[in-house]
């Protein structure tokens, strides 16, 4: 069986949602002056001591082939991971370098990258962005009067759906306005883009009138995910979503939910199927839960087709539990005690303790396996929420 280990470039949605967002617009010149050589937009989505920043770099000068953006944090912000750029930090100074796919920025064009970080106190927006040594957002020719306006806009998200626990992230996709998922979500096409699609769908909803439809296709380029940064902090993460498959889980290995694990080299913790049953898979070493022995597979469960299935999992420290329609699946439990056919293979690596930074829902097939599937009513919370 072929399985691909991918280094996903994760495009995270970083717009206002279940929390307050601060949007800093690009500078605006009130008199006709030269545009700054570069403009940097910096949009933050933050929770108690963590945040995700989406950075947009616009080149107003000659075409660039290879770029380095630097800035200085005013506080004790710490970058923990990045995507679409190599983001490193030394003291308060952060350096973001292009990746191979986005090294070129034509005149007037933009690139975007993001990172996740932690902070204490106030998370101030940096003011000293420099692109390849040139100060950005700086319309300051010495003989011309200019004004730079920074607009701070506070947006308040929609009310969470009824029954959404305090502090939880709940999304039934009812606030989506187009067919391309937006807001808290963005689309990712790992490595290359093919025929896999994910769209806001108004024909099949578990709640309200909207859901996400994924046209999942086998093939390296056809992988597609709907992605959002992790919306909760703390040592426990409980996630609940409803999924509706059209095709039974195949013999071949597939993934329909993935999370980046920064404690595992940034590789994915994957939920999907193999041998027709639900399973977990660790991208870094390809361990599966349960083991793919007949006894192991028998302790997991297939997923129904043409109806909504409630899938829940909870991760606390090194323990993982999984429920389907409210019933725990014994073969999908890592409890720290090695159990043959269940978590014996998983626990061969000691010290597994995931640090998950996002949630992706979609389709990734490593052999055969096409499916059309829907997702709705996603919850991320600090404790189990059940199938309400």
- Residues 117-136 interacting with Ca ion (rule: CB under 5 A): none
Complex with Ca ion: residue 201 or 343, whichever CB lies closer: 201
376 binds Ca ion (CB under 5 A): yes
* Least gap, CB of 330 to Ca ion (angstroms): 31
Q: How is the beta sheet containing 277-282 ordered, strand by strand?
A: 186-188, 224-229, 358-365, 254-261, 267-274, 277-282, 288-289
328-333 CB contacts, 8 Å cutoff, 24+ apart: 329/278, 329/299, 329/300, 329/301, 330/299, 331/277, 331/289, 331/290, 331/296, 331/297, 331/298, 331/299, 331/300, 331/301, 332/278, 332/279, 332/280, 332/289, 332/290, 332/300, 333/289
Interface residue with Ca ion, options 41, 114, 160, 172 (CB under 5 A): 172
Complex with Ca ion: residue 129 or 375, whichever CB lies closer: 375
Complex with Ca ion: residue 175 or 316, whichever CB lies closer: 175
The neighbouring-strand residues paired with 364 are: 255
Complex with Ca ion: residue 210 or 230, whichever CB lies closer: 210
Q: Sort 343 into a burial class: Cβ within 10 Å, 0-12 / 13-18 / 19+.
A: buried
Measured CA to CA, the distance from residue 64 to residue 79 in angstroms comes to: 25
| Per-residue x/- track, 200-239, Ca ion (CB under 5 A) | -----x-xx-xx----------------------------
Complex with Ca ion: residue 204 or 284, whichever CB lies closer: 204
* Least gap, CB of 210 to Ca ion (angstroms): 5
- Return the structure tokens found at 359: 């949630």
* Least gap, CB of 173 to Ca ion (angstroms): 5
Neighbouring residues of 321: CB distance < 8 A, sequence distance ≥ 6: 313, 314, 328, 332, 333, 335
Complex with Ca ion: residue 43 or 211, whichever CB lies closer: 211
* Least gap, CB of 206 to Ca ion (angstroms): 6
- Please give the residue whose beta carbon sits closest to Ca ion in the complex: 172
- Return the structure tokens found at 147: 């004004």
| Interface stretch with Ca ion, choices 7-15, 155-163, 199-207, 346-354 (CB under 5 A) | 199-207
| Interface stretch with Ca ion, choices 67-75, 146-154, 244-252, 376-384 (CB under 5 A) | 376-384
* Least gap, CB of 207 to Ca ion (angstroms): 4
By rule CB under 5 A, what count of residues binds Ca ion? 8
Continuous segment of H or E residues that includes residue 298: helix 294-298
Residues in touch with Ca ion (CB under 5 A): 172-173, 205, 207-208, 210-211, 376
């Amino acid at each position: 069986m072929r399985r691909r280990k991918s280094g996903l470039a994760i495009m995270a949605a970083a717009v206002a949602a279940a929390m307050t967002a601060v949007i800093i617009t690009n500078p605006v010149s009130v008199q006709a002056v030269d545009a700054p050589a570069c403009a940097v937009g910096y949009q933050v989505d933050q929770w108690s001591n963590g945040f995700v920043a989406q950075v947009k770099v616009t080149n107003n000068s000659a075409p660039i082939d290879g770029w380095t953006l630097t800035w200085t944090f005013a506080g004790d912000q710490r970058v923990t991971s990045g995507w679409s750029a190599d983001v490193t930090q030394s003291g308060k100074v952060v350096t973001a370098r292009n990746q191979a796919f986005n090294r070129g920025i034509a005149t007037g064009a933009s690139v975007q990258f993001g990172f996740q970080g932690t902070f204490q106190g106030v998370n101030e927006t940096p003011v000293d962005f420099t692109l390849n040594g040139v100060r950005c957002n700086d319309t300051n020719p010495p003989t011309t009067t200019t004004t730079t306006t920074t607009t701070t806009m506070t947006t308040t998200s929609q009310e969470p759906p009824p029954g959404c626990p305090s502090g939880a992230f709940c999304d039934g996709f009812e606030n989506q306005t187009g067919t391309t998922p937006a807001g808290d979500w963005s689309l990712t096409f790992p490595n290359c883009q093919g025929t896999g699609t994910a769209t806001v769908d108004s024909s099949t909803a578990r709640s309200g009138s909207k859901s996400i439809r994924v046209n999942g296709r086998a093939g390296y380029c056809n992988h597609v995910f709907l992605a959002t940064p992790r919306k909760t902090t703390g040592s426990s993460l409980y996630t609940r979503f409803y999924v509706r498959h059209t095709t039974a889980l195949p013999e071949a290995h597939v993934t329909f939910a993935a999370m980046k694990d920064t404690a595992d080299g940034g590789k994915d913790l994957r939920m999907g199927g193999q041998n027709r049953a639900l399973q977990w898979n660790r991208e870094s070493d390809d361990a599966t839960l349960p083991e793919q022995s007949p006894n192991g597979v028998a302790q997991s469960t297939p997923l129904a087709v043409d109806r909504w299935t409630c899938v829940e999992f909870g991760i606390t420290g090194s323990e993982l539990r999984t429920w389907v329609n409210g019933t725990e699946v014994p073969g999908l439990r890592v409890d720290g005690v090695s159990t043959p056919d269940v978590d014996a293979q998983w626990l061969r690596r000691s010290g597994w303790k995931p640090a998950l930074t996002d949630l992706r829902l979609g389709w990734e097939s490593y052999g055969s396996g096409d499916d059309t599937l829907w997702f709705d009513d996603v919850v991320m919370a600090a404790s189990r929420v059940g199938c309400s």
